[in-house]
Every structure is written in C-alpha cells, then in structure tokens.
Amino acid sequence: MSLRQQNTFSLKLKLCASALLLITPMIGLTACSSDGPKTFAPLTYDYLTPIFFNVNHITVQNLAGDQKYPRDVTNLSPVLPATALSNMANTRFQARGSSGNATFTINRASLQEQGHNGIYGQMDATLDIFDSSNKKVASVTASVNHTYNIDSSKGDASSKANLYDATQKLMQDMNVELEFQIRKHLNNWIVDATGTPISGGVQTQNLGAPGTTPAASTTNTTTSTAIKTSNSSSDDDDLSAVFPGGKPDSVKAREGIKPAAASSNTSSSKYPVGSFGTLPEGATPSGY
C-alpha cells in the first residue's frame, strides 16, 4: 500500500470515528426522551373536606397487596392504587366520637392491561363501624371498575405515565362512589368537626388538583329516617344531587335494582351488608 493510500484510509477512519461520536449522544437523548419523567408527584388528598364519624378511632387496612390478576401491571405504577386509596382514607375519614371504632378495608386495588390501548382498573373497599363492645353495627361497600384509554404518546399500557394517569382516574371514580355510599347508608354516624351530630349528610366533592376548590354538589338534606324506606323517586333525587354531571357507570349498572325496604320496628339484631344495605334501629348511635 502506497503512502497516499495509507493517508486516505487513515482519513476515512477518522471521519467514521467522528461520525460515531456525534451519533451516540443523539441515540442517548432519544432513549431518554421516550422513557418519560423519572419521578411522579405523590397523590395526596388533604385539600378535600374531611368526613367526621361518631367513633373514637378509625383503622385503615390494606388486603389488596398480595393479590395477582391476569396481565396485572399494578406494581409498575409509580403510585400504587392501594397506597392512593389508603392516603385518601387516612386523610378524609376522621374520628370525632367518644366510643366505638371504624375499619376501612381495601379488598382490591388493581390495574390490568386491557388489549393494546387500555388499562382496566378496579377498587373494592368496605367501611365497618363497631360499637363500644366491638360489635359490628354497620357495614357499607364501595366498588368501582373501569377501562381507561391510554395516551399512546406516553407509551404503552405498562408505561409509568399511563399507569399513573389511570390511578388518578380510578381514584376519582372511587371517591365519588365512597361518598355516595356514606351519604346513603352511614348518615347516622356522620358528625361535624366538633363531634356534634348533623342531619344533612356529606357534601359530595370531586377530586381536583391541589390548591383548587373542588366542585361540590348541593348538600343532601334527607334525614336518617329516609334510609329505612325504599322510594324510587327519592333515590333518583339523591342520585341527581350526588352526580349533577350524570350518574357514573357503577351506579347505572345498578339501576332497576331497588334496595329492600326495612321495617321500622325490626327486632333482628342482624344488619344487612352490602352497597345498598339498611340499618337496624338498635344500630343508631346514642344522641340520634
């Protein structure tokens, strides 16, 4: 190989090396941009109005952690749905009574891939109230499930950004359902911040951004005695008050199923458990 050929070959090698040095940072930047943000803000709910109960203590327990479902992507979410629900319960549910206790149990809080462009979320929880002798006197269940469309610009259904968004939306649905069930069936255990019984129930709030004033619907003025009878027109009025923007899917799915009317002179000590249970007279706390 002549000297001229050697110089030409050397120059080509230098040019190739320079090109690689220029391309490598671009590849790195492209990879970083597709990963999305590395950190996500915790989901907190201290800006929402607390709900005070006539009990001395409230416990929140999570039984959803060890459960697995097909195509489960729950643990990939930057904020676990059960953690978000636990945070909201610890923040919003506050004890203002001198006796008795309540237990909020998270039975399910999961996210699953649904096809190529959806995330299926489900939450199930119960709120049990016990008297001073630790006898359960009331129990209400809240359950929501929904498939949320992903934002393809944020990645697939298993991307952290899409799972974070799905968790926020699932919490919005669960907040509405929980307030509806509490309004409807635990009105006798709701008090104000001083522990004084109130008859108006809870004012519904949608989850908004921290620092903003959440939208509130008209306060329900139905007294606790309305819980003991079944009336389709009054139920519709309650639903309209709780959901001024339209009933959520979880409520629509139950339309046409009327709760059984409870007799006002019931002598049974048992209480019905479920989303639309009624309460025995003996379960009413003192002072009502």
Q: Mean pLDDT for each consecutive 10-residue tract of the chain (288 residues)?
A: 58 50 41 58 91 97 90 96 97 96 98 94 98 96 97 94 97 95 93 86 50 43 33 41 47 49 38 36 40
CA atoms within 13 A on the CB side of 79: 23
Q: What is the pLDDT of residue 28?
A: 43
Q: How far is CA 98 from CA 55, 200, 226, 265, 286, in A?
A: 6, 21, 26, 28, 11
Q: Where are the beta strands (DSSP E) in the chain?
A: 51-53, 57-62, 93-95, 101-114, 118-130, 136-149, 190-191
Q: What is the pLDDT of residue 3?
A: 57
Q: How far is CA 31 from CA 36, 194, 267, 271, in A?
A: 9, 55, 68, 58
Q: What share of the chain is helix, strand, coil (3-state, %, to 5)?
A: 35, 20, 45
Q: What is the pLDDT of residue 68?
A: 85
Residue type, 286: S
